[in-house]
Amino acid sequence: MPSSPRPPAVLSQIGNTPLIELTRFDTGPCRLFLKLENQNPGGSIKDRIALTMIEAAERDGRLKPGGTLIEATAGNTGLGLALVASAKGYRLILIIPDKMALEKINHLRALGAEVRITRSDVGKGHPEYYQDMAERLTAEIPGAVYINQFANAANPLAHEIGTGPEILAQMDGDIDAMVVGVGSGGTLSGLGRFFKNKSPKTKMVLADPRGSILADLIKTGRHDEPGSWVVEGIGEDFVPPICDLSLVGDAYTITDQEALLTARDLLTKEGILAGSSTGTLLAAALRYCRDQTEPKRVVTLACDTGNKYLSKMFNDFWMGDQGFLDRPRHGDLRDLIS
Ligand code: PMP
């Protein structure tokens, strides 16, 4: 029997990301470190969970060679899944609401994913709601596996067995606080569990966009009506099943404006091009650092690369239109090219 071809080496490039100290920000009495998850091959921390979720489905026998994977996302999880699925020879169907940027859809299709566009103006319970469509399609296609990152135990596992041990080793076993955001809650729950067992002094600090319910829920046990926010990938209007909020020791609410300006500062001060959720995490980490009276060693994450935000938060005109920045002089092309 011919041996099966070796999987592309790109899969071995997921994880083991660098961790660097930020030296150009005011961090009060603390030292602040950033783990560069934007350097994963698919450009985000989600490559890690794409690999563990697919490998878990292989291990428990639900996913057969050449089988079909289904997920409802246009975000980084979709890119990670597309990368791993194409490397391992699986068919991937992504159900995507029609408000998503064309660049993202083109990127997913270029990676070989099948993209099905559905309505973004309908909610849970409607037949065209993207998550309900994913469930229905899974039932229709024999042997198809619905990844469902919000309820998949192999999502936090990626951080418990990968991200957490890497950070502790890179910090020489000495870390006082870890600042994270919550989208699915995988990062929080996985890192939280790891540190509780292996480094109990490490406090988990939540960075939450204004409008999300999570920071309020942690601080007061209740929350107002969820609002909306511009930052992508974090903040929730519900608590996902895999998200264990009891692991959080402290929480900060960060406005879109503070998050985006902080992400821009990260590029100009430290030369790191990261996305909008990184801005929220870094802004919360900086607040936490400056609130301390004792020196602490604090870590946060660059969750994804800033490439796909170049025409948004790194564009002064877009920032001006959103009211996040004074608008540059109208019609002066020097502003565009300087
Ligand atoms: N940042 C970005 C850019 C993301 O896409 C996500 C996931 N949606 C997160 C942070 C949050 O990670 P988690 O799903 O593990 O809570």
Read off the pLDDT of residues 152-193 as tens digits, 9 standing for 90 and up: 999 999 999 999 999 999 999 999 999 999 999 999 999 999
Catalytic positions, written as ranges? 46
313 close to 273: Cβ distance less than 8 angstroms: no
- Look at ligand 1, atom 6, and give the residue with the nearest C-alpha: 233
Rounded to the nearest integer, the mean pLDDT of the chain is 93
Find which of 104-108, 139-143, 219-223, 228-232 is predicted with most confidence, using mean pLDDT: 139-143
**Separation of CA 329 from chain center:** 35
Q: Is the pLDDT of residue 338 over 80?
A: no
Strands 91-97 and 68-71: parallel
Q: Is any atom of ligand 1 closer than 6 Å to the C-beta of 182?
A: yes
Contacting residues for 96 by C-beta, under 8 A, at least 6 apart: 72, 73, 74, 78, 104, 105, 108, 115, 116, 117, 118, 130
**In whole angstroms, what is the distance from residue 36 CA to residue 42 CA?**
13
Regarding pTM above 0.90, the answer is: yes
Calculate mean pLDDT across residues 304-333.
84
**In whole angstroms, what is the distance from residue 291 CA to residue 274 CA?**
24
Q: Which atom of ligand 1 is nearest to the CA of 304?
A: 3
Largest CA distance in the chain: 69
82 close to 53: Cβ distance less than 8 angstroms: no
Res. 3 pLDDT band, cuts 50 70 90: low
Find which of 62-76, 165-179, 315-329 is predicted with most confidence, using mean pLDDT: 165-179
Task: Mean pLDDT check: name the lowest of 75-89, 119-133, 171-185, 209-223.
Answer: 119-133
**In whole angstroms, what is the distance from residue 113 CA to residue 191 CA?**
30
Q: Is the pLDDT of residue 1 over 50?
A: no
CA 238 to ligand 1 center in whole angstroms: 15
Q: Is any atom of ligand 1 closer than 6 Å to the C-beta of 184?
A: yes
